[in-house]
Structures are given as C-alpha cells and as structure tokens.
Amino acid sequence: MFRSVFSRLMAMVLSLICIIVLATGLLAYSSMRDERVNTRMEELKRQAYDIAYLASRADAPILTQYLGDVSETTKYIAYKADQIYRDYGAVMLVLDRQWKLLTNVYMVSDADSFDVDELKSYLYRVLEGEEIVFSRADDNGKLIFTVAVPWIQEEVVLGAVVIQTSAQTVEAMYRDLGWQISLIMILAFVISSMAVYVLAKRFTQPVRQLTAASKALSMGDFSKRVDVNGDTEIDRLAQTFNSMSQSLETVEMSRREFVANVSHELRSPITSIQGFVQGMLDGLIPPEEYKHYLTIVSDEAKRMTSLISDLLALSRMETDGVKFDMARFDVNEVLRRVLIAKEMKIEQKRLNVDIQFEEENLYCNGSLERIEQVALNLIDNAIKFLPDEGTLTLISKTIGKTCFITVKDNGCGILPEDRPHVFERFYKGDKAHVRGQGTGLGLSICQRIMQIHGQSIYLEDTDVGTAITFTLERAEAPEAAEAIIAEKETDEKE
C-alpha cells in the first residue's frame, strides 16, 4: 500500500498532523471549557454575595426603624432570584443558622430540589465564614454545581445563601464551543493536508525523476537529466546525478569514437596488407614487383605496431595514480639530441633550424624519458608538415620558476576550426587519414604526460605556421645546487 516515498511520507506526516491537531483541540477544548465553567461559577458566586447582602439588609433593625415596611427590599430579593433563574438556570435559597428557610425571602419553585441534609456537611464551614463551590451527582448521575456563601449582619454570620445549577445548564455554555473547536480542527487538518500534499509532491519530484533517469541510465540512455530547483540534499543529489550522467555520456561518446577510430585506423593497413598479399597469391602482382609491395606491407605493419604501442602507452598513463621517475636534466640538451635524431629528415627537406635558447643550459625537474618523448613528437610533427626549405624554431626561456619550451614552424598551420581539437585522440586535421600521416595519438599522449607532471601544453596563437608550448618546473643548476648544499653544511658545522 505504502510502497512509494510519496505515500509513506504523506501517511507519516498526516498521521503526525492528525495527532497534533487532535491533541491541541482537546487541550484547547478542556482549557476553554474549564475557563468558562470557572467564569460562570464566579458569576454565580457574585450573585450569591449580592443576595446575601440584601438578605442582611432585609432584617436590619435600622431599616425597620427608618423605613418601617421593608417589603421593597424583599421584593428586590425576589427579583434577583428570578433573574438568576432566568439568566443562569439556577435555583436559590437562603438559610438561617438553624437550616430553616427565611419566610420573608422569595424562592423559586425549584427550591424543593435542594437536599438540605446533604448540604449540612458543607454549610457548617459556610456558617464559619467560608465560601464553598462544589459539585455532586444527583440520583440520575448528572452533576449539580453548588455555590454557597455566608450572609452577615453586623459582623455576625446569620446564615447562608446557596445557588445551585445542574451540569446540563453549565454544559450548555460550552456545547457550542465543542462544535467551534471541532470545525477549526477539521479546517486545520484539511489545510495542513493540502500543504503537505503540495510540499511532498515537490519534495519527492526529484526522487521520482531520479528513479526514472536511473532506470534509463541502466538501459544505456545517458541523456536523461533531473530538474534541479533548489539547494536541498535531494537537489544536490540530483545535481550529482546529472554530473554523473554527463560524465558517463561523455565517456560513452569517447568510447564509441575511440572504437570507431581504432577500427578505422586498423582497417586501413589490414585492408592494404590483405590486398597486396592476396594479389601476390593470385598472381595479379608480378614477382619483379614483390619487393615494392612488400615494402608497403612492411610500412603498414609498422604503422599498426606504432598505433598499438601508442594505445598501450596512453592507456597506461591514464591509469589513476601513475607516476614518473622525476630527475633534474638539461632540457636544452634534450632538444639538441632530438634534432640530431631527426637530422636525416631535416636534411632531406633542407630545413632551416633556428635555436633561441635564453640560456646555454636550462635545468628542469621531470621525467627525462617522457619529456624527450614529448619533444620528439612535437619536432617530428613540425618536420612532417613543413614545406621544403621551411624553418623549424626551438625556443626555451624562463619566467620565475617555470620553463617554457616552444616548438614552432612556418608551415601551413592549423585551420581555426581544427585548433580546439588538436589534443583529442585520433584527431587529424587532414580528415582523410592519409597513409603514413601518423595515428592521431601523439599530441594526446603529450598532453597526458604534461598532466602527470602537473604542467601544461597548449597551442600558441600565431599568424604563420604552428607553435606548441609546454611548461616544466625549473631546477637549480648542478653547480648552484652543490654550492647551496656546501653552504648549509658549513652553517651546520658552525
């Protein structure tokens, strides 16, 4: 029944609201009822004192002396008794100290309902000057409320005034109060339920969307996103889910692109190898041309080997936590060694080499093997795309604690639409994937190497040709480092 978060939340909150509203309503009803009953008892007590005062005046000798007939006072007492009966539904009697009714005090017809014998146990205290308010059950089990006060003449307690009203009369005062509080409780519950429904819907909406998006995600649809409209824990969870979906979608797109590119890169040399070998086997290629076509097959096999090696290298470097063996080395010397390795290609194209080293020796911290790989890749790319008699420029300089190494050429350059993608895997500006033009992984490997170093590699803005710069942390020269160590040892000895 309560299988969803929404239904469980609604049931729990509504149950809590129902308990709170019911408890609050009962408490309010009890409190207001007691207050009304106490107010009514106080009113009856005040009326009783008024009657007591009039009763004490009715038999006062001074009144008889000066007024003679006191029938007007007696009449007024009768009027008050009748008014109390009409206003409060209460009956009244006046007793003297011998528990006899005064003959000159008017009483309503319901006076016979008083049980004088039962009252005596309470009236002893009244005759001592106390006032008493109490309740008792009649023969039918209904409560009867009684108020008794002394009436005093010349500082002497002469008797008691008793006013009595049934519980039914008192309950009539707060019967309408129960209906009012019940109506308020119902309205409060309905309004609270509506508010809880709206809030629960809004609160669980991200959960429902998360459930639907997660289901789609499990089926391979990474495009689903969850709406985020706040900053609650659920909203932050939705944001995290969206980020995860975005990352998975990016990974999936990269995977598909990677598979497509690898398939294309491997299919081309395999097709060439298969075609030439099959041609030889079928006799379509004459024996005197075998050497030429076998050379092509060998080149394609080397390109496949290079591609696989690059893929393995990139895969190893993308493993979390991979580290290089760091050391201090002269980056200018690394660039010189790479130039010597590429001397034959440079001479074949009759290239001009422009060396712009800010210092003869520039020492940096890093992996010598990996930085040599980066320099080799950049210089090889520059030579590959330079025209005959073009210029290859190597620049090294320092700014603060950072070394900047730039490989620049004055070739055809990179098209503006290709510039944002030069470091992507398998991306080639020529788009035709011409045989012999590389695997498209070189710059991706260079970028990953520099990321592991905590450094950067980027494409410079140039008007002519292409310039790529990478950075390294500068290190002290060996002589300077030895001098610093010797100075420290001297200071420690002193």
Does 292 score more than 90 pLDDT? no
- Model confidence at 413, pLDDT cuts 50, 70, 90, reads confident
> Is pLDDT larger for residue 176 or for residue 2?
176
Q: How many helices (H) and strands (E) does the chain have?
A: 12, 11
Backbone angles phi, psi at 146, to 5 degrees: -130, 135
Which one is predicted more confidently, 395 or 208?
395
What pLDDT does residue 71 have?
Answer: 56
Joined together, the tokens standing for residue 377 give: 């890749």
Position 107 pLDDT exceeds 50: no
Burial bucket for residue 402 (CB in 10 Å: 0-12, 13-18, 19+): middle
Range from 93-107, 156-170, 312-326 that averages highest in pLDDT? 156-170
Q: What percent of the chain has pLDDT over 70?
A: 77
Please give the pLDDT value at position 471. Answer: 94
All domains of the chain in start order, with CATH:
5-175 (3.30.450.20), 233-317 (1.10.287.130), 327-481 (3.30.565.10)
pLDDT exceeds cutoff 60 at 410: yes
* Residues 231-240 pLDDT 10s: 777 777 778 8
- How does residue 111 score in pLDDT terms, banded at 50, 70 and 90? very low
Q: 99 with 116: CB under 8 angstroms?
A: yes
Torsion-angle region of residue 366: left (phi > 0), alpha (psi -120 to 50) or beta? Answer: left
Q: Phi-psi category of 245—alpha, beta or left, where left has phi over 0 and alpha has psi -120 to 50? A: alpha
pLDDT band of residue 472 (cuts 50, 70, 90) is very high
- Average of pLDDT values for 57-85? 60
Contact 91, 164 (CB under 8 A): yes
Judged against a pLDDT cut of 80, whether residue 293 lies above it is answered with: yes
Name the more confident of 253 and 120: 253
> Which residues face 405 on adjacent strands?
396, 470
Identify the pLDDT of residue 406: 95
Reported as type and span, the H/E element at residue 297 is helix 290-317
| Contact (Cβ atoms closer than 8 angstroms) between residue 395 and residue 356 | yes
* Range among 99-103, 248-252, 357-361 rated most confident: 357-361
Express each pLDDT in 442-460 by its tens digit. Answer: 788 888 889 888 899 999 8
Average pLDDT value over all residues in the chain: 77
User: How far is the C-alpha of 327 from the C-alpha of 318, rounded, in Å?
Assistant: 21
Task: Identify the pLDDT of residue 68.
Answer: 43
Residue range 89-107: mean pLDDT, rounded? 66
91-96: strand order across its sheet: 91-96, 156-166, 143-153, 132-137
Pairwise CA distance, residues 206 & 234, whole Å: 7
